Chains A and B, each alone.
Chain A
Amino acid sequence: MSVTATIRIQEGNFDVAQEIAALTRGRTDIGAVVTFSGICRGSENGEPIAALTLEHYPGMAEAEIGRHADEALSRWLLQGLTIIHRFGRIAPGENIVLVVTASPHREAAFEAAEFLMDYLKTSAPFWKREESEKGTSWIEARDHDDVAAARWTKS
Chain B
Amino acid sequence: MKVKYFAWVRERIGVAEEIIEPPADVRTVDDLIGWLSQRGDAYAYAFEKPKVIRAAIDHAHVKADAAISGAREIAFFPPMTGG
What is A's interface to B at a CB cutoff of 8 Å?
38, 54-57, 59-60, 63-64, 67, 85, 96-97, 117, 120-129, 138-141, 145
Contacts and interface: CB of A to CB of B under 8 A. Distances in A.
A17 to B, nearest CB: 21
B82 A127 contact: yes
B78 A127 contact: yes
B19 interface: no
Given A57-B77, A60-B59, A125-B56, A97 B82 contact: yes
Contact of B56 (A54, A60, A117, A138): A60
Contacts of B82: 54, 56, 85, 97, 120-121, 124-128
Contacts of A54: 82
Given A55-B7, A127-B6, A60 B75 contact: yes
A96 B59 CA distance: 22
B79 A138 contact: no
B59 A121 contact: no
Interface string B1-22: 0001011100000000000000
Contact of A126 (B56, B59, B75, B81): B81
Given A57-B4, A128-B81, 9 more contacts: A57-B56, A57-B75, A96-B83, A123-B61, A123-B80, A124-B82, A125-B56, A141-B81, A145-B83
A138 B8 contact: yes
B24 interface: no
B37 to A, nearest CB: 20
A97 B83 contact: yes
Contacts of B81: 121, 126-128, 138-141
A140 B61 CA distance: 19
A38 B6 contact: no
19 contacts: A56-B82, A57-B6, A59-B59, A60-B75, A63-B59, A67-B60, A96-B83, A117-B83, A120-B83, A121-B82, A123-B80, A124-B82, A125-B56, A126-B82, A126-B83, A127-B81, A128-B82, A140-B81, A141-B78
